Structure 1
Amino acid sequence: MWFSQLSSCAIGLALISGAFASPLTKQTAGARLVLDTNFPDPSFVQDPTDNTWYAFGTNGNGKRVQVARSDDFSSWTLLDIEALPTLAPWETEIDHWAPDVVRRNDGKYVMYYSGEAKEKLRHHCVGVAVSAGTDPKGPYIPNAQPLSCRLDQGGSIDPAGFLDKDGSRYVVFKVDGNSIGNGGDCNNGVAPLKPTPILLQKVGPDGFSPIGDAVQILDRDDSDGPLVEAPNLILHGDTYFLFYSTHCFTDPKYDVRYATSKSITGPFVKNGVKLLQTGDYGLTSPGGGTVCGCGDRLLFHGFCRDDVRCTYAAEVAISGNQVTLL
């Protein structure tokens, strides 16, 4: 997700205030509020030793990478933990966005995240950090080199790991083309619009050594507004599902959609279905959705107050190439 001017969010929200409902309360069906605090871009992983769930969120509440815990995926607690206590030499202190954590075969965990590049401020690279031990809470030790930068194309953000059925590992991420756009909506609303492709990078068993070149599996079109972002890839049956968000995160059109493919390298076909959108369950600008590899649960964020994106949970069902929110 593109956050280069979060301070402008209040202005954007004031302009779209008519779209807002009152602060949400917990619900028993559909989407429900689970973290009533600023916890954007949630991803999650389960500890196989005790089945505890851990969620990771964009910088906030005084932490570079936030961590929350749940025993049942319904009640979540924000932990007073800094998951990324040290920085890599390529990154600045600010902007640690959209962390995603996967478990390796050796029991350690790999965290992918977006960090601001010292080489080109206000633009970002995908960083990698590996847990010091086998505790998913960390601490995570960053690699000296980022996985992807592509600063000439706007940078690389919104990474998410994926383990395929044959044991191969991949990382999907967004090329942040709108960061070098011509202004307007999320800096990419003025023609000519920049591409914001989603790329797929195969990596080795360590979770971060690139194998071959990244391949493009999705990009924006006119129906997506200025961008596509926040990719999350899962396999259900014989179908790959790529969840993503469209439009600007401050826009009430921000949503969660998905595309499908029979091959991990695509082509991924958009179906235009909005799995979550403003107005559903009283939500405003829902996005940054992460679906469990098991295909039955989802975390995402939405505006619950001005400048505050809370985390929500929902259950989903997948049948064939269709996803339904329960």
Structure 2
Amino acid sequence: MRPTQGIRWLLAAAAAAAVPAFGSPIAPRSAGPWLAIDSDFPDPGFVQGDDGAWYAFGTNGNGRTVQVATSPDFETWTLLDKEAMPTLAGWETAVDHWAPDVVRRNDGKFVLYYSGEAKSDLRHHCVGVAVSETTDPTGPYIPNAEPLSCRLEQGGSIDASGFLDRDGSRYVVFKVDGNSIGHGGDCNNGVAPLVSTPILLQKVAEDGVTPVGDAVQILDRDDSDGPLVEAPNLILHGDTYFLFYSTHCYTDPKYDVRWATASSITGPYTKSGRQLFATGQWNLTSPGGGTVCGCGDRMLFHGFCGDRRCTYAANLEIRGLDVVVL
């Protein structure tokens, strides 16, 4: 994912809307997705706390390294005046902290995965990991001294998302940021030869932090995806693994949310070829960066609202290998 500064065309493309008071809840629409967080809150990940409330985490913005919002019912959301990760690890700069995702461990603490800029290779990123000091999902989170994945020679690692399998095994899916070392054009990867942007699956220990074995590739871009695939999010529904992801450049009207399915966690994954959310549907502009509840019935994603990327929510239903927006 990328910051929003300098995006001019979206001011004309997005529908004009009045902005309520900062952090105020937004009433949901009667059908389809609704505007959940009317503020710059891209790449939302979310988790449910022991109190039954929902907690969302967003890319750096509004003066925060990792933003936090909460909802009692998944419909109305409030942006909290809190920094989820107040300290940084030694390997990262303070510039970029993208696409946070949070999972709960068996010990009740929470693990935060995020993308941070590597001091050793500026403008390229690693997947960092941080653990909550307590069982409070809003943090504070303390980052590990070492990142989970870098792969800087391939462009870096970004967009990590945690997954707990039925047998108790834990995994992290993330994108190798190959387009960051592309040859220019759309998202720096629109000029041939196009660079691979694979989605990798990394098994981790029960702590959610320690890698187990080597990561395996489960998806990559093809011509239908434009310059990249990114923002992976994995769930298990019945006996089928659903891998949600975005295609094209985040500044492009073609940016969207799609999914692929597999009967084994390591694949092979078959792309559905369908868009769950796309520009023009429900007045959305460049929707993407989605996270789906493990139960498969609700989702948060971002879309442009003026020159910002606001967070939208949606109710879903999985029917066989199909995903339907309610």
Question: Aligned to 1:40, which of 14, 39, 42?
Answer: 42
1:119 equivalent in alignment to 2:120: yes
Is the aligned partner of 1:108 residue 2:102?
no
Gap change, CA 1:26 and 1:105, over 3 Å in 2: closer
Please state if 1:22 is matched with 2:13: no
AA of the residue aligned to 2:314: A
Q: Is 2:203 the partner of 1:179?
A: no
Give the match for residue 10 of structure 2.
13
1:215 aligns with 2:249: no
TM-fit CA distance, 1:26: 4.5
In the aligned structure 1, how far is the partner of 2:196 from the partner of 2:278? 23
Residues matched between the structures, number: 318
The one-letter code of the counterpart of 2:311 is T
Between the aligned partners of 2:269 and 2:122, the Cα distance in structure 1 is 33
Whether 1:265 aligns to 2:266 is yes
Structure 2: distance between partners of 1:195 and 1:46: 34
| Matched residue, 1:131 | 132
**1:146 correspondence with 2:147:** yes
Deviations 1:71-108 (A, max 9, x none): 00001000001000000000000110000000000000
Residue in structure 1 matched with residue 24 of structure 2 by the alignment: none
Give TM-score, length-normalised by structure 2. Answer: 0.96
Contact 2:28 2:75 (C-alpha < 8 Å) held by counterparts: no
CA shift, 1:7, in A, is 3.0
Partner residue in 2 for 1:317: 317
**In 2: Cα distance, 1:26 partner to 1:226 partner:** 33
User: Would the aligned equivalents of 1:260 and 1:269 in 2 still touch at CA under 8 Å?
Assistant: yes
Identity fraction in percent:
73
Moved runs in structure 1, 4+ residues, more than 6 A? none
Paired residue type of 1:305: G
Letter in 2 for 1:100: D
Secondary structure at the residue paired with 1:122? coil
Kept after mapping to 2: 8 A contact 1:56/1:66: yes
Counterpart contact for 2:53–2:72, Cα < 8 Å = yes
- For 2:23, the equivalent position in structure 1 comes to none
* Structure 2: distance between partners of 1:97 and 1:171: 16
Q: CA deviation at 1:112?
A: 0.2
Correspondence 1:96 to 2:93 = no
Is the CA contact (8 Å cut-off) linking 2:260 and 2:272 kept in structure 1? yes
Cα drift, residue 319 of structure 1: 1.3
3-state DSSP of counterpart to 2:295: coil
**Alignment TM-score, normalising by the size of structure 1:** 0.96
Give, in whole Å, the separation in 2 of the partners of 1:7 and 1:23: 19
Tell me if the contact between 2:28 and 2:76 (Cα under 8 Å) persists in the aligned partners: no
1:208, distance to aligned residue in structure 2 (A): 1.1
User: Considering only aligned residues, what root-mean-square deviation do their CA atoms show, in Å?
Assistant: 1.1
Q: Is the 8 A contact 2:261 2:271 kept in 1?
A: yes
Contact between 2:10 and 2:304, CA under 8 Å: does it hold in 1?
A: no
Structure 1: distance between partners of 2:255 and 2:217: 22
Equivalent residue letter for 1:13: L
Supply the distance in 2 between the matched residues of 1:166 and 1:75 (Cα, whole angstroms). 34
Q: Please give the alpha-carbon distance, in whole angstroms, between the structure 2 residues aligned to 1:310 and 1:2.
A: 14
Distance (Å, rounded) in 1 between the aligned partners of 2:247 and 2:193: 18
Q: Is the 8 A contact 1:2 1:179 kept in 2?
A: no
In structure 2, distance between residues paired with 1:28 and 1:133: 37
1:217-275 superposed Cα distances (whole Å, 9 cap, x missing partner): 00000000000000000000000000000000000000000000000000110011100
Letter in structure 2 aligned against 1:46: Q
Amino acid at match of 1:52: A
2:315 counterpart letter in structure 1: E
Cα distance between partner residues in 1 of 2:30 and 2:82:
29
How far apart, in 1, do the equivalents of 2:131 and 2:14 lie?
Answer: 39
Match of 2:162 in 1: 161
What CA distance in whole angstroms lies between the structure 2 residues aligned with 1:13 and 1:324? Answer: 27
The residue number in structure 2 matching 1:193 is 194
